Amino acid sequence: MAVEVEILTSNVEILAKQPPLELLPFSDFLEITQYMEKGETVTFQLLEVSGEPFYKGTFTKMSEEYAFEEDIRKKLNQVIKQKKMSAEQAESLLAKLSFTTVQETPPLSVKQKFLEKKKDKSEKVMIQKKKPERRVPRLSKVSLPSFFVSWKKIGIGVLIFSCIGLSAFFFLKNDTSVAKKDTSYEQLFQEGNYQQLLKKYPEKEQTLIEQLYQEGNEKGLEEVAKQATDNLAQFYLSFYRKDWEKVTTLKELPQEKDVLAMKGYAFLKQGKLEEAKLINEAIKNETLTQQIEAYELTQAYKALREGNVSTAEKINKEIANKQLSDDISVVKSILNLMKKYAEDKENKKLSEAERKEAQQNYDEWKKNLQQIGEESIFE
């Protein structure tokens, strides 16, 4: 089954701009890691298409030649040594990933697009590396996840979108494809003449807003927002800017499932879990459901690292995550050991050497506690 990647955090500009809930094909993610520079890092989680996360981790480019495959194999070996998973489980996880050689001889402009944040270095990179040219994936061309629509309903296999806009929340309805066939509409759109476009095609206002959002055209959204008949353009603009509070407070919006799902996500980003759940009870959006569960899982692991087992258990009653259940048991054991060593290091009946050893053991297990969930294998 195909694997997708969700970017959680990154200091790589093009990944940092990756829209919330937009999933990258694993092959695209793998190619991007090849062009990362030393010291750049990305925290991510891997998911099977339409499935739950099965791995969460952080990749840091240690050197120019350091590869993601090498990194994940090292970390899986560490997990095996820590007896957090078996060798068979590790092999099963790796079997889901395809580390095939990426296609060669890409258009130069594609590579330049990825490297545009390093314009002063791009020519040097292309001249000195003397490596075979490889296609760098355009984040502007990724498949739209099923956050809003069914592929069958819109009748196409793959939709191509802009990475700069938050296209994971973007609908291309049937009227969008019709609009693209209308050369006058397309011409006005390409010229950026949105005022004239709205006058000539007022019924295409929502289509225009979604196209601008899809392409990450912030200025275009601002312009349309000034002329729009409702707050939809402002809504998409606020979402693009990650102004989550404004997203959830804007009125006069069409009550459509995509808009509601976006609101649910915005509530989640503000830590308002209950509001997000209430919205999703009505629309039952698959991707929002996954994000709610991921949020709860994050909260559960945060509680575990703080030694709050009861909170993690309460959360797991709802999400029933096997890995979390296993880690709860591990944390209980760690806390028992920490309690023992905490008592021993203060026990005057023990020798100084024994108390010192107890202190060292306590510190070591406390460190282990803080690592729970940092590199997570989700079943």
- Compare 313 and 162 and report the one with higher pLDDT: 313
- Residue 331 reports pLDDT greater than 70: yes
Which band of pLDDT confidence, cut at 50, 70 and 90, is reported for residue 375?
low
State the pLDDT confidence band at 79, using cuts at 50, 70 and 90: confident
pLDDT tens-place string over residues 150-202: 333 333 233 333 333 344 444 434 444 444 445 588 899 988 999 899 999 99
Asked if the model's pLDDT at residue 346 lies above 60, the reply is yes
Q: What is the mean pLDDT of the segment spanning 48-75?
A: 85
* pLDDT grade for 209, boundaries at 50, 70 and 90: very high
Half-sphere exposure of 54 (CA within 13 A, CB side): 20
CA distance 313 to 9: 27
**In the predicted model, is pLDDT for residue 39 greater than 60?**
yes
Q: What is the pTM of this model?
A: 0.54
pLDDT beyond 50 at 41:
yes
Work out the mean pLDDT of the chain and round it to a whole number: 78
pLDDT at 300: 94
Tokens of 333: 């054991």
Give the C-alpha separation, 204 to 200, whole Å. 9
Report pLDDT for 302. 93
Strands 23-25 and 376-377: unpaired
Least confident among 80-89, 242-251, 263-272: 80-89
User: For the chain, what are the domain ranges?
Assistant: 3-105, 151-254, 298-377
Q: How confident is the model over 45-61, as a mean pLDDT?
A: 84
At residue 108, the pLDDT reads 39
Q: What is the mean pLDDT of residues 125-146?
A: 36
pLDDT value at position 363?
95
Residues in contact with 245: Cβ distance below 8 Å, sequence separation at least 6, in sequence order: 266, 270
pLDDT above 60 for 339: yes
Closest CA to 233 of 288, 181, 194: 194
Tally of CB atoms within 10 A around 74: 10
Cα separation, 145 vs 306, whole angstroms: 34
Q: Mean per-residue pLDDT for 338-347?
A: 95
Q: List helix spans (H) across 130-256.
A: 151-154, 174-181, 183-191, 194-200, 205-214, 218-227, 232-240, 244-249
